Amino acid sequence: MSNGMTGCLAIFDLEPIGRNVFRGESPNPSLQPVFGGQLIAQSMIAASRTVQARVAHSLHAYFIRSGDPTVPITYEVEVLRDGKSYSTRRVVAMQNGRVIFSIIVSFHAGEQSAFDHQDIMPDVPPPEQVALDTLSKKSIFSELPEGVRRWYEPDRLIDLRLPPIELRPVEIGQYVGKKAKHSNIHFWMRIAEKLPEDPALHICALAYASDWSLLDAVMARYGRTVLKADDILGASLDHAMWFHRPFRADDWLLYAKDSPSAQGGRGLARGLIFKRDGTLVATVTQEAAIRERR
């Protein structure tokens, strides 16, 4: 990675090593396995470098094998189509000659439309009301898993075990074993650094953040979390995302998540991402393999 670059900018700093071929690295080689959001974002960065004057509007990805953070990742971009309004790219991520991840990204030139509607943002407290100075006064704070409390600690941004994302969960009961009547959970989130004025970079950054803690929507009904459950095995299988309207990934965004179904060792999570003013900017779905250890 380039000297002097930190956080997301360092993660997105891919090295071109051939025609439409790029190499990326993991920020913390000791953390197993490679974070799924990193694979999504680095693949999108690679694809974006082969497209002119268009930004991504959707992605469909599959996690095929666990990635080894000690080994550089090679991203090979295939140009599938360059049409009048849309461009399509397929990217495969490889380590040691084997595919670990695959994604198709579609890009759009942008246009005016007579159709414009969206869902309404849920009514939840703003990020300032779920900050550390408020949460730490509640008795439940001391009961939270270390991984959740770590989100709030002042030096968390230098901890390479955590992604460079600021997180403020609205509902914290599931982290101390409280079962939710429904699977709806809400997080305020933002990239923890100022990003350049590049819409494509903000899209890649949001794709990176979208994979963090999405599986907890599946666990909310059971009062459980992957951050505290050593008896649960969870692994992302696929990830899809649609980008609707402009946004900044370094501003606070509300991630409203739920899980409509879990069965047969798989759980489905979905999310809507809103700006503070209520603008819907993205939709996410993800299926994960999830089961109890035996």
Q: Which residues are catalytic?
A: 211, 236, 286
Chain center to CA of 160:
16
Contacts of 268 (CB under 8 A, 6+ apart): 218, 259, 260, 261, 262, 285, 286, 287
N residues, the chain: 294
Contacts of 214 (CB under 8 A, 6+ apart): 236, 257, 269, 271, 284, 286, 288
Check: CB of residue 188 under 8 Å from CB of residue 130: yes
Residue 229 buriedness (CB in 10 A; 0-12 / 13-18 / 19+): middle
Contacts of 12 (CB under 8 A, 6+ apart): 41, 42, 45, 201, 204, 205
Place of tokens 């951050």: 227
